[in-house]
Structure 1
Amino acid sequence: MAKLMKATVLEPKHPNKATALFNGEASGILHWDNVAYPHFYDLRKTIRGLFWTANEVNMVADTKQFASLSNEERTAFLKIIGLLATLDGPQTDIASKIAAYSTDPSVKSILATIADQESEHNHSYTYVLASVTNYDNQIASFNEGRTDEVLLERNKRIAAVYNEFAENPTIETVLKAMVYSALLEGLFFYSGFAFFYNLARNQKMVGTSTMISYINRDELHHGRFISELFRATLAENPEYNNEQFIEWVYDEFRHSVEQETKWSRYVLAGIDGIDLDDMEGYVKYRANKMLRMLGLSEIYEGYEKNPMKWIRAYTDNFNGTKSDFFEQKSRQYTKTSDLNGFDDL
């Protein structure tokens, strides 16, 4: 198993264009017109164009509305924020760890941007909770990933794969980490996203939903880059493009769909407006989509189209660039200069 070596920071005797994504040679000087994968530049430009910050979102209306949510909605809100924080926190670290072993400076550059955006996602969950509930509930929500049995079971394999790469960096473990990163970006968030979009279509917690839509758009583009990086790494290391490894990928997708479905039936039970069978179909649809992005075949026959048609207004119409905050008139909010807009209360 090919052990990964940490890339040197600057080595003038090596060429500027990296000889390989991992375990190659590169000077460390990044010249975007002379990189091994020129289309990475377009991906970088798109990802860089997504910049936003949590405290630009006015949460005044959400602050007033949270107490009027049903008990089921408030419980799901806090549990799902806990889930999202559990997933986004490690994404900052895993992007940095993959970057540390990549010998391609273009990859390092893009992953640095992704790590920064994931950090802002995690900050946004603190921001949302600080806007709508007390400190004790915030602590409890962020502890969900450490204490909730369903969530612990759901995240067991994520932790195993990420920690294996951290402790034993090889071509195989970095490929596996990319698979799980793609799963996080393109599948694991989506029952949570659906919950907030369902609130928004009922004119509830619109500020939170709008922030979630920006996170969602970021994740779609992060997932696209990770998928491209996976395919390129597999092409450079064809010995891993074998039946055993590809079957591992399919098994992890099947397991992830099972866990996401179990989680959605647990956390979304009793939420008006979300059909749990449709939610399961949507998860399978997302899995097929992510497999295609990774260059693999679909495994869920009959789930080629999105069965949750109402969610398209929130997830299927993202373009490649960041729109102005004021463009989304159906979920419009205003920027505030003070934290959370509390001075407007």
Structure 2
Amino acid sequence: MEKSLLERAKTLEPQNPNKSTGLFGGQSSGILNWNDIAYPHWYKMYKRLLGNYWQADEVNMSGDVKQFSNLTAAEQEAYLKIIGLLSTLDAPQTRTALLISLYATDASVQSIMAVIAQQEAVHNESYSYVLSSVVSLDEQNESFQHGRKDPVLLKRNEQIMHQYNQFVEEPTIENILKTLVYTSLLEGMFFYSGFAFFYNLARKNKMVGTSTMISYINRDELEHGRFIAELFRATLAENPEQNTSELTEWVYTHFQQSVELEIEWSHYVLQDVEGIDLDEMAGYIKYRANKMLRMMGLHEIYPEHVENPMKWIRAYVDNFDGTKTDFFEQKSRQYTKTSDLNGFDDL
């Protein structure tokens, strides 16, 4: 059967209604009135994303500069490899968010994706910022080479690269849905063994500036994952012919593959790091996979991992009153203005 390729959304088509008739492949004027959109609650998501605004150089790295040389050899190696990993995940996200918006015929999706793309660009900048604070330029460059050369990392990222590039080559509804699945995996699970490493350092009063930066990124990714899951569900509802048993099995298969690859990566990069139980880490990865599947409207595939086995992580990323308190005598600061838009899912 011949695949139907989507056309890029036109910039302005005044003959069409302002409220879109479809997320992808629909009609809309290109004029955005937030009070007249197809999915009104997405305005709250847009506002939450805006409320998370931050810049990399706002984080004080002076303590980390002094501490890095005192980390164990295993901690230093993991630090550099994990920064290399994170950069391979966030750099493509900026472009992928923009690519999705090019085919979105709903102006609210275009705007939300623009904010997500901007935040992913800040995330990637932050990795350059933290490395420039603690190691030489040569070591910085070497860390960023991991995504191109490390065989375990290349294996881990192979399916992400394949699906993202498949969407570039064949912009169909099916490939948008599959790309949203991998975006959900990326935002909601692929980062988390890396996040755990930095929070574990902070538990030992090490590299607190870096962990603060990571907590900012973590909070953004929680919001991104929430929106991507909703976009997946809404796109599937608008295109019921895509809601097949084959697609569902594809999602479950690729979630399982991704969990196995993430566990393999966590063993590779964290095996010599004191303070992280690798069996507990594997359970946490499965817990995160279950959580993302539920958000996407699917059932859990790891029924024995419905509870977070690493509850200590929550202390480093969220408080429900909207205020983030830095640890170890860093000052408290307001993350977002207190409003009914605050609060987010448990890690």
TM-score, scaled to structure 1: 0.94
Displacement of 1:319 in angstroms is 4.4
Query: % of aligned pairs identical?
Result: 60
Corresponding position of 1:24: 26
Write the letter of the residue equivalent to 1:170: T
Write the letter of the residue equivalent to 1:131: S
Aligned partner of residue 143 in structure 1, secondary structure? helix
Write the letter of the residue equivalent to 1:203: N
Question: Which residue of 263, 266, 269 corresponds with 2:265?
Answer: 263
Aligned partner of residue 22 in structure 1, secondary structure? coil
Matched, 1:248 2:246: no
Displacement of 1:309 in angstroms is 2.4
**What is the aligned residue count?**
331
Displacement of 1:137 in angstroms is 0.6
Task: Choose between structure 1 and 2 for higher RCO, CA contacts under 8 A separated by at least 6 residues.
Answer: 1
Corresponding position of 1:191: 193
Displacement of 1:295 in angstroms is 0.5
- Can you give the 5+ residue segments of structure 2 that lack an aligned partner in the other structure? 334-347
What's the C-alpha RMSD, in Å, of the aligned pairs?
A: 1.4
Displacement of 1:75 in angstroms is 0.2
CA distance in 1, matches of 2:316, 2:62: 22
Check conservation: 2:208, 2:327, Cα contact below 8 A: no
Check conservation: 2:326, 2:332, Cα contact below 8 A: no
Corresponding position of 1:117: 119
Displacement of 1:312 in angstroms is 2.2
Corresponding position of 1:106: 108
Corresponding position of 1:161: 163
Check conservation: 1:25, 1:103, Cα contact below 8 A: yes
Matched, 1:63 2:65: yes
Displacement of 1:37 in angstroms is 0.4
Corresponding position of 2:330: 332
1:121-270 alignment runs, 5 A limit: 121-270=123-272
Question: Which residue of 277, 283, 294 corresponds with 1:275?
Answer: 277
Displacement of 1:311 in angstroms is 1.4
Corresponding position of 2:312: 310
| Residues 164 and 230 of structure 1: CA distance in aligned 2, closer, same or farther (over 3 Å) | same
Check conservation: 1:145, 1:151, Cα contact below 8 A: yes
Query: Structure 1 stretch 120-129 or stretch 300-309: which is displaced more?
Result: 300-309
Check conservation: 1:206, 1:331, Cα contact below 8 A: no
| Residues 208 and 217 of structure 1: CA distance in aligned 2, closer, same or farther (over 3 Å) | same
CA distance in 1, matches of 2:329, 2:4: 49
| Residues 318 and 88 of structure 1: CA distance in aligned 2, closer, same or farther (over 3 Å) | farther
> Structure 1 segments of 4 or more deviating over 6 A?
none
CA distance in 1, matches of 2:331, 2:249: 46
CA distance in 2, matches of 1:83, 1:54: 18
- Can you give the 5+ residue segments of structure 1 that lack an aligned partner in the other structure? 336-345
